Amino acid sequence: MRGRDPLLGQLLDRRYRIDAPIARGGMSMVYRCLDVRLDRPVAVKVMDPKFAADPQFLSRFEFEARAVARLKHPGLVAVYDQGLDDELAFLVMELVEGGTLRELLRERGPMPPHAARSVAEPVLDALAVAHAAGLVHRDIKPENVLISDAGEVKIADFGLVRAVAASHTTSSSVILGTAAYLSPEQVASGTADARSDVYAMGVMLFEMLTGRTPFTGDSSLAIAYQRIEHDVPPPSRFIAGVPAEFDDLVLGATRNDPSQRFPTAGAMAAELRAAATSLELPAYRVPAPRRSAEHASAQQRPAPTAQTARAPAAAPTVAVTAVAAPAAAPTTQHRTAQHPAGPNPTKVVTGLMARPAAPQPVTPPPRPPAPEPHRQPDFSAHRRRSRRTTLVWLLIVLVLALLVGIGGWWMGSGRYTAIPPIDGLDKNGAVTAIQNAGLATTIRGQYSDDAPVDAVLGTDPPEGSQVDPDSTVAVLVSLGRPAVPELAPGTDVDQARERLRSASLQPMDGGEIFSVDAPLGTVAALDPAPGTTVSVGSPVKVVR
């Protein structure tokens, strides 16, 4: 059993109280904290203690934090502060209450195009702002894309990889970044520019559409080096129904040669918007994952206390006042009357400074004569009429506001229907639940390595989405693991590849052999053989 984190309850830099862990990475830990000075929740990334003794890292860490803090965009996680407390370098950021894209993909699986667009577009817009300021992220991945409970999409961790790269604690042979999303130039030479972020965005868009990354391997290094030799395949090879426009987006972002990619995140965002317009994709609010680490950390927050831990207070202010006292009295100090005071009350100290003359009695000034009363005109009837007029106008305004509110609700969310939750239901139960919400349904099979046949995987659009009452909602049902389809010798190669993609398999060129059953250029065999059960996305060689 893992012991209690020793940092919990500690006060970083005499300001940030560490309340609960949110996420652990290879080089850092992210905590939910309370800024006791401003009384607001924040996220604090605490780096591995080994970095605190590295001046190169600390210098780059501070520089990158300042650069990112200057950026202003709703799609960027705001940076509030950075510092060093004993052996801990830390970065203070906006707390996004929700979860990560990784957690959402884990909960719901592949996204339909309209949902993928609603994630990718704000991330690309935020990257465009950073790229214009000369900053490169270098580690775009679903773990660094945050989705708030309000549907906001933000990118986090700008500049962290560059700071670590500057560290003497990092070997020059280490490839920095996450293997599945690295660009070929990052793998080959470690260099990165805006087009490297574009490549990672293409890979992430591929994953949103298919539920998997384009390359697999036995190790991170093997995965990283595959992209040097192979292009990212179009997502439609793995998931039927992906539009050609999204295939083009992925391919345009992930060319091996950087000069052939979209030159900037802004250019890719413009192409994404054009595709969305062409496909008439609906606006969509991305849901936050239900079971996220951030939500779990919120349950661990300590209850508020009367006094929050903080740094020692400064010395109280002292005001010295000379007052008169009887001639024979010794030097004394008198306290003022006891009144409630704040944490740093001002102390008033009184004492004998000199022997003054006896005080003279003070005669109060004479009270001025009271003015003679005079008659006031009778305004009562006018007031009653004014009150009635005011009430009438107030009633009219309230009625108009109510009508406008009802109309706005109907034109906004009121005319839409929410897809009901279907967690735990079987196929028939899911169909019934959706039909009871007034929506039409259809059943759509989807291959799955984990779910048994006929298990409900979700809906398209996802549950909780607001849709037009005339919409048809697809209930996604598991087909189990795919099997290599039966293809007779002599089948057209393009037709065979399409059959394999429809089965969520990846066709690959298997070369040529001599066959008495298959004319030249047609399918002679498949490897693995037809009927073999394999995993989703498995490669199948088409032998001609």
Integer Cα distance of 350 and 334 in angstroms = 6
Q: Which of 217, 191, 213, 190 is nearest to 203 (CA)?
A: 213
Q: What is the DSSP letter of 169?
A: T
Element (H, E) at 380: helix 380-409
**Which residues belong to the active site?**
139
∠ CA 43-47-53 to the nearest 5 degrees? 145
- Maximum distance among all Cα pairs of the chain, rounded to whole angstroms: 132
Amino acid identity of residue 169, one-letter, is T
The answer to whether the beta carbons of residues 147 and 153 sit under 8 Å apart is yes
Which two tokens mark 240? Answer: 């039927």
Integer Cα distance of 474 and 440 in angstroms = 9
Q: Using a CB cutoff of 8 Å and minimum separation of 24, what contacts does 18-22 make?
A: 18/44, 19/297, 19/300, 19/301, 19/302, 20/297, 20/298, 20/300, 20/301, 21/297, 22/293, 22/294, 22/297
Integer Cα distance of 424 and 456 in angstroms = 8
SS3 149: coil
Integer Cα distance of 244 and 242 in angstroms = 7
Task: List % helix, strand, coil for the chain (3-state, nearest 5).
Answer: 35, 20, 50
Strands 525-527 and 539-543: antiparallel
The CA-atom distances, in angstroms, between 318 and each of 65, 315, 321, 344 are 40, 9, 10, 11
